[in-house]
Amino acid sequence: MKIVVVGGSGLIGSKTVARLQKAGHDVVAASPNSGVNTLSGEGLAEALREAEVVVDVANSPSFADEDVMAFFTTSGRNLIAAETEAGVQHHVALSVVGTARLQESGYFRGKQAQEDLIRAAGLPYTIVQATQFFEFLGGIASSAATDGTIHLPPAAIQPMSSDDVAAAVAEAAVASPVNGVIEIAGPERFRLDELVRRYLEAKNDARAVVTDPAARYFGARLDDASLVPAAAARLGIIHFGDWLAASAGRA
């Protein structure tokens, strides 16, 4: 089938494209670099012509509250309109586990708006909510840094490899729409502060991680239910220690 992957040149998108191509599908990796811009609408109609499935894994280039909201709402409306016109049969979107619980954060308000647009569009859909990627732990550390010290709460987190995320997204793309949410997560659960501390040690990063129950996560307060999935989540197969070893080998 013809599958368009929006954000197809990014971390998750490129791996999803590769998996779907290996399975024999006609895959279009859509991004501004390929002439497809969901914010302006440029190239959308042509890219979606005869497409059966659209996979949206694009992310906002800016994490500023207003920018995130503008990106997900504008991009979402343009994409849904183009899909409706093209007769797309399945819309798959990558979102985040805990989005509805993290509405103090501007980023997660933007993701919630994106999910709401999809649910209201009338298109068959699947929303894949993933826990945080191992690859983004450095970004979490930087976001929580103050004067060289990183303040993070000891909240539960169940992160996963981008390879496992791409595998789940590709699987959803070729399956029937669920018209609901699929949660995916890593095989292990950690404390956020301990996980980032372990990550920094492995990267020879000397910054100290201070355990601070009041510290925010991208503007949101956390508890042990905020970032983890329900019991029915589909679990990845790549463990954090194995991912660390592999990333050290690549470096």
Tell me: the pLDDT tens digits for 92-149? 999 999 999 999 999 999 999 999 999 999 999 999 999 999 999 999 999 999 988 9
Q: Token digits for 198?
A: 């372990």
Q: What is the mean pLDDT of the chain?
A: 96
Whole-angstrom distance, CA of residue 206 vs CA of residue 42 = 45
Dihedral (Cα; 19, 24, 25, 31), 10-degree rounding: 40
Cα–Cα dist 25/12, whole Å: 17
And the tokens for 27?
């895959």
Handedness of CA 179, 54, 27, 159 (dihedral sign): negative
Kindly provide the b/e burial profile for residues 194-213, where b requires at least 16 CB atoms within 10 angstroms of the residue's own CB: ebbbbbbeebeeebebeeee
Record the pTM.
Answer: 0.95
Question: Is pLDDT above 70 for 251?
Answer: no
User: What is the crossing angle of helices 162-174 and 11-22, to 10°?
Assistant: 50
The number of angstroms, rounded, from the C-alpha of 249 to the middle of its chain's C-alpha atoms is 25
